[in-house]
Each structure stands twice: as C-alpha cells, then as structure tokens.
Amino acid sequence: MNLLIIKTGALGDVLRTSFIAQALKGKYGEKNPKIFWLVSKKAINLLEANEFIDYLISEKNQKELKKIKFDLIINLEESELKCKFTSSLNAKKITGAFWKNNKINYSKDSNYWFNMSIISKLGKEKADRLKRQNKKTHRQITGEMLNINWKAYEPTLKLNKIQRKFSNNFKRKPGQNHCR
C-alpha cells in the first residue's frame, strides 16, 4: 500500500502535520503501508529522521512520484501548482485539494478544513466566519478528515545524529554565556 502526503509549505505546518505518518501506519498496519512525503527543501530536516516516513521526496524530485501508483494521496497544499500536480498522479483516492475542471477543488472528506481556507467553495466571507467559529484543533480536523485516531498521536520531531550533536553543544551550561 502506497500513501503520499503532500505538505510542503510553512515549517510549522509541516511539523504539526507530522503525526499523520504514524497514524496512517497504525491505521493501515496490516497492509504494510509505505509512506511517501513530498516536502520543500527547507523542511526536509524536520522530517528526515521520522521513522514513520519511508520516502521523503524533495519538491525538486517530485516527478519521481509519477512512476508510482498510490492507494491514497493526501494533499494539504492549496496552490494551483500542487493541485495540478496531485491530479497528474496515479491515485485510487485523493483526500484534500486537487485540480478538476480547470479549477482547484477539494474532496468531500476535507470540506471542514478547506471550507475555512482561501480556496473555500463558499467564498472568503463565509470561510472567514467558519474559521472564527471553529473550536477544533488542527490535529482534530486532520484526524477526522483522514479517519484516524488523532488523540493517540503527537507531531513528531526526531533529531538526526548531527542535529543532536549541535543541540548538545548548544545547551547552556552553568556559568557560560552563549550570547554574542
């Protein structure tokens, strides 16, 4: 089973979405899911040590994904470019945003999230009102969208060996001033 997550944008958004990989491994465990994640170059360091992601693909190498048949693609990006790319891939199912009839569209299971966004089918005024009224967390909305147990998983940030060494060297020790 091949699953693709497309979340390339803001670093904080990539990090807070990272729990999805583990949750999908849990949900589809018996099907031996392979998790692919399309990410921007600047966000690679946030996900490269995440053991729940099998293949981390940089945007510059995204054409490699055209060779793969996906059981599920989750596109959380709203750009026309990413939506067109999503729709160009071989997928049984797409959750999130995609390109159809010369415009950005989104799947029914992602209505709650995208109805509050810039690509809302309801218009900006209604989207802004829904956003103000929303009481759910990002993790809850995403979990419900994907039908995963969102309460059981937290965003994942694992440091690689080089990052851990840097972190340990950077830690403030008593009596030392690291500010310059």
Write out pLDDT tens, residues 23-75: 999 999 999 999 999 999 998 988 988 999 999 999 999 999 999 999 999 99
If one compares 124 and 161, the residue with the highest pLDDT of the two is 124
For the chain, what percentages of helix, strand and coil (3-state, to nearest 5) are there?
45, 20, 35
If one compares 175 and 28, the residue with the highest pLDDT of the two is 28
Pairwise CA distance, residues 113 & 141, whole Å = 7
- pLDDT of 9 higher than 90: no
Can you give the pLDDT at residue 151? Answer: 75
- pLDDT of 177 higher than 60: no
CA-based end-to-end distance of the chain: 51
Can you give the pLDDT at residue 180? Answer: 47
162 band by pLDDT with thresholds 50, 70 and 90: low
**Mind listing the pLDDT tens digit for each residue in 80-135?**
999 999 999 999 999 999 999 999 999 999 999 999 999 999 999 999 999 999 99
Q: Which domains does the chain have, with CATH numbers?
A: 2-110+139-155 (3.40.50.2000)
- pLDDT of 179 higher than 60: no
Can you give the pLDDT at residue 150? Answer: 77
Which residues is 2 bridged to in the sheet?
34
Instruction: Choose among 137, 145, 159, 111: nearest CA to 27.
Output: 145
Rounded to the nearest 5 degrees, what angle is found at the Cα of 67, between the Cα atoms of 155 and 7?
A: 25
Can you give the pLDDT at residue 94? Answer: 98
Whole-model pTM? 0.86
